[in-house]
Amino acid sequence: FGMLVLDEAVLSIAQRYREDVLAVPRHQDVNRGYRHTAYRQFILWLYGRKSMDLESELRTCHLLETLLNETSFNSSHRDVGWELYESVNVCGLGWHLYKTHCYKYLDLKATWAEAKDHCYKTEAYLVQIESREENEWIKENLLPADPELCYDSTTYSCCDTWIGASDQVKEEVFQWTNKENVVFINWKPYEPNDANGNEDCVSLCRDGQWNDNICNKTFNIICERYVFG
Protein backbone atom coordinates (compact mmCIF):
# COMPACT_ATOMS: atom_id res chain seq x y z
CA PHE A 1 0.00 0.00 0.00
CA GLY A 2 3.04 2.27 -0.23
CA MET A 3 3.74 5.35 1.83
CA LEU A 4 1.23 7.04 4.13
CA VAL A 5 1.81 10.66 5.05
CA LEU A 6 -0.08 12.59 7.72
CA ASP A 7 -1.51 15.98 6.85
CA GLU A 8 0.39 18.91 8.43
CA ALA A 9 -2.81 20.31 9.90
CA VAL A 10 -3.57 16.98 11.58
CA LEU A 11 -0.06 16.82 12.99
CA SER A 12 -0.22 20.37 14.32
CA ILE A 13 -3.48 19.66 16.13
CA ALA A 14 -2.08 16.45 17.57
CA GLN A 15 1.10 18.15 18.73
CA ARG A 16 -0.87 21.04 20.22
CA TYR A 17 -2.95 18.75 22.39
CA ARG A 18 -0.28 16.06 22.76
CA GLU A 19 -2.84 13.44 21.77
CA ASP A 20 -2.68 10.50 19.40
CA VAL A 21 -3.80 11.20 15.87
CA LEU A 22 -7.22 9.73 15.16
CA ALA A 23 -8.20 9.32 11.51
CA VAL A 24 -10.88 6.71 11.00
CA PRO A 25 -12.17 6.11 7.45
CA ARG A 26 -15.85 5.24 7.05
CA HIS A 27 -15.32 1.55 6.23
CA GLN A 28 -12.09 0.88 8.06
CA ASP A 29 -11.49 -2.57 9.46
CA VAL A 30 -10.63 -2.08 13.12
CA ASN A 31 -9.79 -5.72 13.64
CA ARG A 32 -6.85 -6.20 11.29
CA GLY A 33 -3.82 -4.09 10.56
CA TYR A 34 -0.16 -3.53 11.36
CA ARG A 35 1.08 -2.58 14.79
CA HIS A 36 4.52 -1.67 16.04
CA THR A 37 6.00 -4.28 18.35
CA ALA A 38 7.25 -1.60 20.72
CA TYR A 39 3.98 0.35 20.81
CA ARG A 40 1.11 -2.13 20.66
CA GLN A 41 -1.54 0.59 21.01
CA PHE A 42 -0.52 2.24 17.75
CA ILE A 43 -2.21 0.41 14.90
CA LEU A 44 -2.03 0.94 11.16
CA TRP A 45 -5.49 -0.23 10.08
CA LEU A 46 -6.26 -1.84 6.76
CA TYR A 47 -8.92 -0.28 4.59
CA GLY A 48 -11.02 -2.09 1.99
CA ARG A 49 -14.18 -4.18 2.04
CA LYS A 50 -13.01 -7.46 0.53
CA SER A 51 -9.22 -7.56 0.47
CA MET A 52 -8.29 -11.11 -0.50
CA ASP A 53 -5.12 -11.58 1.50
CA LEU A 54 -3.70 -9.32 4.18
CA GLU A 55 -0.11 -10.02 3.20
CA SER A 56 -0.37 -10.04 -0.60
CA GLU A 57 -3.32 -7.82 -1.46
CA LEU A 58 -3.24 -4.93 0.99
CA ARG A 59 -5.15 -2.04 -0.50
CA THR A 60 -5.56 1.52 0.76
CA CYS A 61 -4.52 2.00 4.39
CA HIS A 62 -5.23 4.67 6.99
CA LEU A 63 -3.75 5.48 10.36
CA LEU A 64 -6.06 5.03 13.30
CA GLU A 65 -3.42 6.06 15.84
CA THR A 66 0.21 7.03 15.40
CA LEU A 67 3.19 8.33 17.29
CA LEU A 68 3.54 12.10 17.00
CA ASN A 69 7.07 11.86 15.65
CA GLU A 70 6.15 9.32 12.98
CA THR A 71 4.58 10.98 9.93
CA SER A 72 4.72 8.10 7.47
CA PHE A 73 5.02 4.34 7.26
CA ASN A 74 6.30 2.24 4.39
CA SER A 75 4.80 -1.24 4.00
CA SER A 76 8.21 -2.66 3.04
CA HIS A 77 9.55 -1.81 6.51
CA ARG A 78 7.68 -4.57 8.33
CA ASP A 79 11.00 -6.08 9.32
CA VAL A 80 11.87 -3.06 11.48
CA GLY A 81 9.22 -3.39 14.12
CA TRP A 82 5.84 -3.65 12.42
CA GLU A 83 3.82 -6.86 12.60
CA LEU A 84 0.49 -8.07 11.28
CA TYR A 85 -2.27 -7.70 13.88
CA GLU A 86 -5.67 -9.40 13.90
CA SER A 87 -8.39 -9.52 16.51
CA VAL A 88 -9.86 -13.02 16.72
CA ASN A 89 -12.95 -12.47 18.88
CA VAL A 90 -14.67 -9.66 17.02
CA CYS A 91 -17.50 -11.78 15.59
CA GLY A 92 -18.75 -13.34 18.80
CA LEU A 93 -19.41 -16.91 19.90
CA GLY A 94 -20.10 -19.31 17.05
CA TRP A 95 -19.23 -16.80 14.33
CA HIS A 96 -16.11 -16.87 12.17
CA LEU A 97 -14.24 -13.90 10.73
CA TYR A 98 -13.29 -13.63 7.06
CA LYS A 99 -12.10 -10.26 5.81
CA THR A 100 -14.69 -7.74 7.05
CA HIS A 101 -17.56 -10.19 7.50
CA CYS A 102 -18.67 -12.76 10.06
CA TYR A 103 -20.13 -16.16 9.14
CA LYS A 104 -22.05 -18.80 11.06
CA TYR A 105 -22.87 -22.36 9.97
CA LEU A 106 -26.12 -23.65 11.45
CA ASP A 107 -27.18 -27.29 11.53
CA LEU A 108 -30.92 -26.72 11.82
CA LYS A 109 -32.59 -28.09 8.65
CA ALA A 110 -34.63 -25.20 7.29
CA THR A 111 -36.35 -24.34 4.03
CA TRP A 112 -34.79 -21.52 2.03
CA ALA A 113 -37.40 -19.03 3.28
CA GLU A 114 -36.93 -20.19 6.88
CA ALA A 115 -33.17 -19.89 6.48
CA LYS A 116 -33.52 -16.34 5.18
CA ASP A 117 -35.79 -15.40 8.11
CA HIS A 118 -33.52 -17.03 10.68
CA CYS A 119 -30.48 -15.07 9.49
CA TYR A 120 -32.51 -11.86 9.46
CA LYS A 121 -33.54 -12.40 13.08
CA THR A 122 -29.86 -12.59 14.05
CA GLU A 123 -29.20 -9.26 12.27
CA ALA A 124 -27.52 -11.12 9.41
CA TYR A 125 -28.47 -12.43 5.98
CA LEU A 126 -28.27 -15.73 4.14
CA VAL A 127 -24.69 -15.94 2.94
CA GLN A 128 -23.80 -13.95 -0.18
CA ILE A 129 -20.75 -15.45 -1.94
CA GLU A 130 -19.05 -12.88 -4.16
CA SER A 131 -15.70 -14.38 -5.12
CA ARG A 132 -13.92 -17.68 -5.67
CA GLU A 133 -11.71 -16.93 -2.66
CA GLU A 134 -14.72 -16.45 -0.40
CA ASN A 135 -16.33 -19.62 -1.78
CA GLU A 136 -13.14 -21.59 -1.07
CA TRP A 137 -12.83 -20.19 2.45
CA ILE A 138 -16.41 -21.20 3.24
CA LYS A 139 -15.82 -24.69 1.83
CA GLU A 140 -12.66 -25.21 3.88
CA ASN A 141 -13.76 -23.57 7.14
CA LEU A 142 -17.54 -23.90 7.55
CA LEU A 143 -18.85 -26.94 5.70
CA PRO A 144 -18.79 -30.44 7.29
CA ALA A 145 -15.30 -31.90 7.28
CA ASP A 146 -16.46 -35.40 6.32
CA PRO A 147 -18.94 -35.50 3.40
CA GLU A 148 -19.96 -39.04 4.35
CA LEU A 149 -21.55 -37.68 7.53
CA CYS A 150 -24.20 -35.78 5.60
CA TYR A 151 -24.47 -37.50 2.21
CA ASP A 152 -27.94 -38.89 1.49
CA SER A 153 -27.86 -41.57 -1.21
CA THR A 154 -31.67 -41.68 -1.43
CA THR A 155 -31.91 -38.07 -2.57
CA TYR A 156 -28.43 -37.71 -4.08
CA SER A 157 -27.78 -34.91 -1.60
CA CYS A 158 -24.30 -33.40 -1.70
CA CYS A 159 -24.44 -32.15 1.90
CA ASP A 160 -26.45 -29.16 0.67
CA THR A 161 -26.34 -25.90 2.58
CA TRP A 162 -28.55 -22.95 1.68
CA ILE A 163 -26.96 -19.76 0.37
CA GLY A 164 -28.78 -16.50 -0.32
CA ALA A 165 -29.24 -16.80 -4.10
CA SER A 166 -32.47 -17.58 -5.95
CA ASP A 167 -34.31 -16.86 -9.20
CA GLN A 168 -37.75 -16.67 -7.63
CA VAL A 169 -38.35 -13.13 -8.94
CA LYS A 170 -37.38 -13.82 -12.55
CA GLU A 171 -36.53 -17.23 -13.98
CA GLU A 172 -32.82 -17.70 -14.76
CA VAL A 173 -31.92 -14.34 -13.20
CA PHE A 174 -30.32 -15.22 -9.88
CA GLN A 175 -30.29 -12.57 -7.17
CA TRP A 176 -29.14 -12.35 -3.58
CA THR A 177 -31.61 -11.61 -0.81
CA ASN A 178 -30.75 -7.89 -1.11
CA LYS A 179 -31.93 -7.97 -4.76
CA GLU A 180 -28.41 -7.62 -6.17
CA ASN A 181 -27.71 -9.83 -9.17
CA VAL A 182 -25.37 -12.76 -8.63
CA VAL A 183 -22.06 -12.09 -10.42
CA PHE A 184 -19.66 -14.78 -9.22
CA ILE A 185 -21.00 -18.29 -9.87
CA ASN A 186 -19.69 -21.78 -9.17
CA TRP A 187 -22.31 -24.16 -10.57
CA LYS A 188 -21.97 -27.93 -10.67
CA PRO A 189 -21.76 -29.36 -14.20
CA TYR A 190 -25.14 -29.11 -15.99
CA GLU A 191 -26.50 -26.76 -13.33
CA PRO A 192 -28.67 -24.81 -12.92
CA ASN A 193 -31.18 -27.08 -14.65
CA ASP A 194 -34.47 -26.11 -12.94
CA ALA A 195 -35.43 -29.79 -12.74
CA ASN A 196 -39.20 -30.28 -13.08
CA GLY A 197 -39.55 -26.51 -13.32
CA ASN A 198 -39.44 -25.83 -9.58
CA GLU A 199 -35.78 -25.45 -8.55
CA ASP A 200 -35.45 -21.76 -7.74
CA CYS A 201 -33.15 -21.61 -4.69
CA VAL A 202 -29.40 -22.20 -4.57
CA SER A 203 -27.59 -24.62 -2.29
CA LEU A 204 -23.87 -25.11 -1.71
CA CYS A 205 -22.41 -28.62 -1.93
CA ARG A 206 -19.61 -29.90 0.27
CA ASP A 207 -17.18 -29.58 -2.63
CA GLY A 208 -17.99 -25.87 -2.94
CA GLN A 209 -20.08 -26.18 -6.10
CA TRP A 210 -23.58 -24.73 -6.42
CA ASN A 211 -26.86 -26.41 -7.29
CA ASP A 212 -30.35 -25.05 -7.90
CA ASN A 213 -32.80 -26.78 -5.61
CA ILE A 214 -36.43 -26.93 -4.54
CA CYS A 215 -36.89 -24.07 -2.09
CA ASN A 216 -39.00 -26.13 0.32
CA LYS A 217 -36.29 -28.71 0.88
CA THR A 218 -34.68 -28.47 4.31
CA PHE A 219 -30.92 -27.94 4.52
CA ASN A 220 -28.41 -26.43 6.91
CA ILE A 221 -27.67 -22.74 6.47
CA ILE A 222 -24.88 -20.17 6.61
CA CYS A 223 -25.60 -16.66 7.85
CA GLU A 224 -23.34 -13.69 7.12
CA ARG A 225 -23.12 -10.21 8.54
CA TYR A 226 -20.78 -7.27 8.30
CA VAL A 227 -18.35 -7.21 11.21
CA PHE A 228 -19.85 -3.96 12.53
CA GLY A 229 -23.42 -5.23 12.28
Mean pLDDT, the chain, integer: 72
Q: What are the residue ranges spanned by the domains of the chain?
A: 3-86, 96-226
Q: Of 3.10.100.10, 3.40.50.170, 1.10.287.110, 3.40.50.620, which CATH number belongs to 96-226?
A: 3.10.100.10
The 3-class SS string of 62-110 reads EECCCCCCCCEEEHHHHHHCEEEEECCCCCCCCCEEECCEEEEEEEEEE
pLDDT confidence bin for 159, thresholds 50/70/90 = confident
Nearest alpha-carbon partner for 61 in 95, 35, 89: 35
- The full DSSP string for the chain is --EEE--HHHHHHHHHHT-------TTEEEEEEEEETTEEEEEEEEE-TT-S-TTT----EEESS--TT--EEEGGGGGGTEEEEE-SSSS-TT-EEETTEEEEEEEEEE-HHHHHHHHHHTT-EE----SHHHHHHHHHHTS-S-GGGT-BTTTTB---EEEEEEEEEETTEEE-TTSPBP-S--BPTT----GGG---EEEE-TTS-EEEE-TTS-EEEEEEEETT-
pLDDT digits (tens, 9 = 90+) for 52-72: 344 433 333 434 444 434 444
pLDDT digits (tens, 9 = 90+) for 102-143: 999 998 899 999 999 999 999 999 999 999 999 999 999 998
Dihedral, CA atoms, 226, 137, 183, 115, nearest 10 degrees? -60
Higher model confidence: residue 103 or residue 22? Answer: 103
Query: How far out from the chain centre does Cα 54 lie?
Result: 13
Share of the chain above pLDDT 90, in %: 44
Most confident of 27-31, 44-48, 100-104: 100-104
For residues 65 and 85, the answer to whether their CB atoms sit within 8 Å is no
Alpha-carbon span 145 to 160, nearest angstrom: 13
> What's the predicted TM-score (pTM) here?
0.62
For residues 203 and 213, the answer to whether their CB atoms sit within 8 Å is yes
